[in-house]
Amino acid sequence: MMVARSLVLIVALAACAAPKPQHTIPVALLVDGDRAGVGSLPKDAVSGLELRPVELAAPTTSAPDPSAATIAHARGMYAGGDFDACRGELAKVDITHLLATRDRALAARALVLDTACAWGALDKSSAGATAARIASYGLELPDLAVSPDVERVIGEALAAAGKAPRAALVVTGEIGARLTVDGREAGCALPCTIDLAPGDHVLAVDADGFQPAVQTVRSPDAAKVSIAQQPASAELAARQWRARIGRGQPATDVIGAALLGRLAKESRVALVHGDKQLTGALVVDGKLVASARGERGEGPEIVRELAYDGGLLRRPSIWQRPWFWIATTTAVAVVAGVVIAVTYEPDKHTRLVVP
Amino acid sequence: MRNTLLALFVLVGCSPQHDVGILLGPDKDTLTQGFRCYRDNPPTELMFQRSVVGNLVKFSLVIDLITIDDGFPGCRGEELVQACLETGACKIYTAQGRYCQDITVPLSEIDLSNPAAVIHYIGATLRAQDPIIADDPPDVPTVIRAVASLQTCAEIAASPDYPLLDADSALGCAYSCPALLDQVNGTISLSLDSLSTHCEQLVRACAGFPRAPI
């Protein structure tokens, strides 16, 4: 009897033991929102997983563009009549970069000033070419005092550009990438076809998960251009992911999941967002594979559910879960109690008596 | 929680007391025919008349439980004979001893020809001496039998045929239908299945049961 009971106990204990993987699975863990509501998530919070916390780098403020100062300096030279020095200073300004970063006003200021300096230096052909760039880019003229001759040269370039026929250009690259032309929204996502005035143009593309790319084209020389983009670095992916959240876009849609996969530098990323409720998502190889919800403080439970739903861990069979045995034992006890209550007949103590 | 456990303990640990009264006839005021049988010879004499010794009436009253180990026969004699005599399944229950009372009455105080007087006297005597006939009898089909005998209780206890009774000494006899006493409510009546007042042989067979009549 004792041996039988021991065997039953051993079998029950073995049955209750949930399967444990032999090796822990590394999972990058990104906690955002109300961290206090998520609760503690040490690296071994979930059996079978090794949680590796990921911290998003704080957003950095980019260094101020020196172009504005350079242009101001060149304007001083122009006012002082030192036209060659003015042109030399303006040569330092990267017009393509200004247009790629959508600073059309500064680009217009630099080109108008460059036109004036070239005209002042008696280099009329250069002045004309620069004015043609202004016209080609479609820049709005700045409130900048230049000589009437310069205004005329620019006006003639604008007029010529307005009369010239526009040519179509097919732009391809990363599907869905946002396209700007000469610092203005093209109004379409790649691949798309745009109409361009003759002359030079700056095409810039921007897509989440990729490095921005810039390419200059000359219309109508090219009818088709393909702009390649390099994958975003982890830091850039983090900035892009944060920017998407800021724009109110989903954190774990297709693009969000891809960014999470890239920013964490792990193939498996668990995201837990703390709020009134907790939400979680598991991204594997840049794809969302599981999502879960829970109450505040249930961070480990959410990560465990994600691991089960995402196939990282094998969910214990129903009979390997404690609540199953609790429920079964309770049910058996209730049934036994009911059976006893219904069928029990107390042993009567009968006496035969003389009435 | 504590109250629940207490109730469970009471439920399991206690067995309610259940009293079953024995009637020596169809009701408490009527004496069964089994105690009013006439002898075969002389046919005008009550069997109970043999208990008169001088100015006294002396007899013993034995109340037995006859357990039936196998089956649950009906009341009729034929069924009891078939169930008991042919199988040996019926036994007089003596594990708690046997209920036997010697009764001695001055003849002047009892009219043997008046059944109501006899039953009231017997009942009063039994109640006065020991009203408990059996305490917690076995939970098997049981026949209750009452025998009035010329043998004293001491003679019965010393009999070599114990627990069988001497049929020749019987003055009256009655028995109940087989019953599970735990399931009997109220009273259980004893009677003798006779269609005649000349029932000496039936009394003898009843008293000698479960031994086959000679």
Asked whether residue B137 is domain-assigned, the answer is yes
What pLDDT does residue B9 have?
52
* Amino acid residing at B75: C
As a dihedral over the C-alpha atoms of residue B117, residue B120, residue B121, residue B126, rounded to 10 degrees, the angle is: 160
Asked whether residue B154 is domain-assigned, the answer is yes
What pLDDT does residue B38 have?
94
**Cβ–Cβ < 8 Å for A309, A290:** yes
B62 contacts on A by Cβ (under 8 Å): none
Give the closest-approach CA distance of B78 to chain A in angstroms.
Answer: 26
Token representation of residue A101: 């970063």
pLDDT string in tens for chain B (214-residue length): 555 555 555 555 566 788 999 999 999 888 999 999 999 999 999 999 999 999 999 999 999 999 999 889 998 888 988 888 878 889 999 998 899 999 999 989 888 888 888 888 888 888 888 889 999 999 999 999 999 999 999 999 999 999 999 999 999 999 999 999 999 999 999 999 999 999 999 999 999 998 876 5
What pLDDT does residue B118 have?
84
Other beta carbons within 10 angstroms of residue A166's beta carbon come to: 13
What pLDDT does residue B120 have?
85
DSSP string, A308-320: HHTTSSPPPPGGG
Token representation of residue A13: 């204990």
**Cβ–Cβ < 8 Å for A134, A200:** no
A350 contacts on B by Cβ (under 8 Å): 18-20, 136-137, 181-182, 184
The DSSP symbol for A80 reads: T
What pLDDT does residue A1 have?
47
Token representation of residue B138: 């076995």
How many structural domains does chain B have?
A: 1
The Cα–Cα gap between B209 and B214 comes to: 11
The Cα–Cα gap between B106 and A149 comes to: 167
Asked whether residue B213 is domain-assigned, the answer is no
Asked whether residue B82 is domain-assigned, the answer is yes
A348 contacts on B by Cβ (under 8 Å): 15-18, 182
Contacts with B169 (C-beta within 8 Å, 6 or more apart), sequence order: B149, B150, B151, B207
Asked whether residue B38 is domain-assigned, the answer is yes
Q: Please check whether residue B25 touches A, CB under 8 A.
A: no
Write out the H or E segment, with its range, that includes residue B53. Answer: strand B52-53
The Cα–Cα gap between A282 and A327 comes to: 31
What pLDDT does residue A22 have?
64
Boundaries of domain holding B77: 7-208
Q: Which residue ranges in chain A fall short of pLDDT 50? A: 1
What pLDDT does residue B67 have?
94
Other beta carbons within 10 angstroms of residue B209's beta carbon come to: 26
Nearest-CA neighbor of A122 among A90, A73, A87, A166?
Answer: A87
The Cα–Cα gap between B170 and B40 comes to: 13
Token representation of residue A112: 């108008």
Contacts with A86 (C-beta within 8 Å, 6 or more apart), sequence order: A74, A75, A77, A78, A113, A114, A117, A120
Best mutation target among A338, A340, A352 (most B Cβ atoms within 10 Å) is A352
Give the closest-approach CA distance of A342 to chain B in angstroms.
Answer: 13
Asked whether residue B192 is domain-assigned, the answer is yes
Asked whether residue B197 is domain-assigned, the answer is yes
DSSP string, B142-161: EEEEEEEESS-HHHHHH-TT
Nearest-CA neighbor of A168 among A225, A223, A205?
Answer: A223
A346 contacts on B by Cβ (under 8 Å): 11-12, 14-16
Asked whether residue B214 is domain-assigned, the answer is no
Where helices occur in A164-298 by DSSP H, the ranges are 234-246, 254-264
